Amino acid sequence: MSSQADNGEPAATANLTQIPKTKLLFHSGAHQQTYEHQTKISSIYPITALPQADQNLLKVPADAPNLLYAMTTESTIFHPQGGGQPSDVGEMVVPTGNAGGAADQTFEVLTARTSATNAGIVLHFGHFTEGHMLDHDLSGVHVKQIVDANKRNLFSRLHTAGHVLGAATRTLLENRIDNFDELKASHFPDSAACEFQGLIDGKYKPEIQTAVDGLVDKDAQVKIGWWTKANFRQRGLERLLPSDEDWRQIATHVDENGEDVGQEVDDEKTRIRVVDIVGAEVYPCGGTHVPSTKRCGKVTVRKISRQKGNSRVSYLVD
């Protein structure tokens, strides 16, 4: 899809609802540590041509280049920010030599977000390092995606570590803290924490640390799966089931391996992605993870804080 009008001015507001769904390769267990990938460009637009709701997804830093674009691709290994996990960053190499007689161009991906107007696509926000885009349509052109492997590995370690902390805390305190439940988590490097319903006294910090260390040292396998509602019920994990409304928003038409299948209207036949720390806990989750708990590295419980009946347990990975 063209990104500019014939006169070189930004095109009218882009209709992102017409762009095909992005295949999320990072959802596959086989691609958790995939850092390079070949795909095709579906569309590219100046951010000023996006619907306002999509423009609002990007907080443009003061020193950002003037020519910022949003690129969509047929598939992606870039995890968009969401679910408590930061966005992947990296670059895409556009081999323009054959298309326009110029050398390859590099598109620096500053951040990725799920579109606000088409939840099926990922917007890769960034700029061309040469300062401008080619004057021809790049739709359908092959592109090489390269994710910053060091940051992806850190984000994956933090995300798995958050699940380890949640599982260890639940096992330890579920029957010792009134109204205990897991609420939400942040897996950002500077603010990693799990939040729980119920007041967790600071005296439990050493016990939580010991439980976390035990689960990490166990080197439990971290498995990616796709569950129906029946799978949750069969495991006695109804407490993890999203509401019917949330289920319809996140469930997809795939088999137990995450492969696309024919669409069914019946909610009982759709599935959501889960991350299973084998022998410990299962979580509905769309993030990236390391293959086993020992790959988290050292997980340190930092602080327990309490407010309005809830508790926040912060952590870091070394």
What is the average per-residue pLDDT within 302-309?
97
What is the average per-residue pLDDT within 217-237?
95
Instruction: Give residue limits of the domains in the chain.
Output: 16-147, 152-317
pLDDT band at 6 (very low <50, low <70, confident <90, very high): very low
What is the CATH number assigned to the segment(s) 16-147? 2.40.30.130
pLDDT band at 4 (very low <50, low <70, confident <90, very high): very low
For residue range 168-211, what is the model confidence (pLDDT) as tens digits?
Answer: 999 999 999 999 999 999 999 999 999 999 999 999 999 999 99
Tokens representing 10?
């930004």
Q: What is the structure's pLDDT at 2?
A: 46
Amino acid letter, 43:
S
Residue 28 region, left (φ>0) first, then alpha (ψ -120 to 50), else beta? beta
Q: What pTM value is reported for the model?
A: 0.90
Q: What is the structure's pLDDT at 7?
A: 43
For residue range 258-284, what is the model confidence (pLDDT) as tens digits?
Answer: 888 777 656 678 999 999 999 999 999
Residue 1 has pLDDT above 70, yes or no: no
Q: What is the structure's pLDDT at 64?
A: 65
Tokens representing 167?
């599982």
Burial zone of 296 (CB within 10 Å; 0-12 exposed, 13-18 middle, 19+ buried): buried
Class of domain 152-317: alpha beta
286 touches 173 (CB < 8 A): no
3-state secondary structure at position 267: helix
For 80, 210, 297, 313, 314, the CA distances from 302, given in Å and listed in that order, are 27, 13, 15, 7, 5
pLDDT band at 97 (very low <50, low <70, confident <90, very high): low
Q: Which is nearest to 105 in space by CA: 123, 126, 78, 75?
A: 126
